[in-house]
Chains A and B, each alone.
Chain A
Amino acid sequence: MNRVLTVIERDFRIFFADRFLLVIMFVNFTIDLGVSGLSLSAMIKGYGDYFLYIAPGANLITATVASFQSGRDIWRERIIQDTHTYLLTLPVPKPMVAASRLFSGMLRTTMTTLPGTAVIALLYHLSFPLSLVGVLIMLVYSGAVCGLSVIAASMSSSLELFTTVRSTVQVYLSFFSTQFYPTSILPPVVTDVSNFNPMTWAVESFRALQTGSVDVGLFLPLVGLSACLLGAGFVFYRRAMEF
Chain B
Amino acid sequence: MIEFKDVWKRFKGTDAVRGITCTIEDQEIFGLLGPNGAGKSTLIMTMSTVYRATSGEILVDGHSVNTEPGKVKELIGISFQDPKYDRILTAREILQWHAKVTGVEKGVREKRIDDVLTKFGLTFEARKRTWMLSGGTKKKIENAKIFVQRPKVAVFDEPTAYLDVPSRLLVWDMIDELRDEGSTVLLATNMMDEADRMSDRVGIVSKGEMVQVGTPDALKGTLKGRDIIEMTLEKPIPELPAEMKKIEDIQDAHFEGDTLVLLLSNGRELLPHVINIATAKGAKVQSVNLKQPSLEDVFLHYTGMKLA
Contact = CB atoms under 8 A, between A and B. Distances in A.
Interface in B29-52: 45, 48-52
A89 B48 contact: yes
A242 interface: yes
Interface in B99-149: 100-103, 129
A86 interface: yes
B89 A243 contact: no
Counting chain B residues whose Cβ lies within 8 A of the other chain, the interface size class is 20 to 34
A185 interface: no
Interface of A: 3, 6-7, 9-10, 13-14, 17-18, 81-83, 85-86, 88-93, 242-243
A89 B76 contact: yes
A82 B88 contact: no
Contacts of B49: 88-89
Nearest to A10: B97
B52 A17 contact: no
Interface in B48-76: 48-52, 70, 73-74, 76
A38 to B, nearest CB: 35
Contacts of A82: 82, 84
B84 A91 contact: no
A85 B142 CA distance: 14
Contact of B100 (A6, A17, A86): A6
Rank and list the top 8 A-B pairs by shortest CB-CB distance, nearest first: A86-B84, A91-B73, A243-B51, A89-B48, A17-B88, A88-B50, A91-B74, A6-B101
A190 to B, nearest CB: 40
B105 to A, nearest CB: 12
A92 B101 contact: yes
B4 interface: no
A93 B73 CA distance: 9
A13 B97 contact: yes
B196 interface: no
A7 B45 contact: no
Which secondary structure dominates chain B's binding surface? loop
Given A17-B88, A90-B102, A91-B102, 14 more contacts: A6-B100, A10-B86, A10-B101, A13-B93, A83-B86, A88-B49, A88-B50, A89-B48, A89-B76, A90-B101, A91-B70, A91-B73, A91-B74, A243-B50
B150 to A, nearest CB: 14
Contact of B45 (A10, A18, A90, A243): A243
16 contacts: A7-B101, A14-B88, A14-B89, A17-B88, A17-B89, A81-B86, A83-B84, A83-B85, A85-B84, A88-B48, A89-B50, A89-B73, A89-B78, A91-B74, A91-B103, A93-B70
A101 to B, nearest CB: 13
A19 to B, nearest CB: 10
Contacts of B80: 85-86
Contacts of B245: none
B73 A90 contact: yes
Nearest to A7: B101
Nearest to A6: B101
Contacts of A17: 88-89, 129
A89 B73 CA distance: 6
Among A3, A83, A86: residue with most chain B CB under 10 A:
A86
A6 B98 CA distance: 10
A10 to B, nearest CB: 6
Contacts of B74: 91
Nearest to A76: B86
Contacts of A10: 86, 97, 101
A224 B151 CA distance: 43
Contacts of A18: 88
B103 A81 contact: no
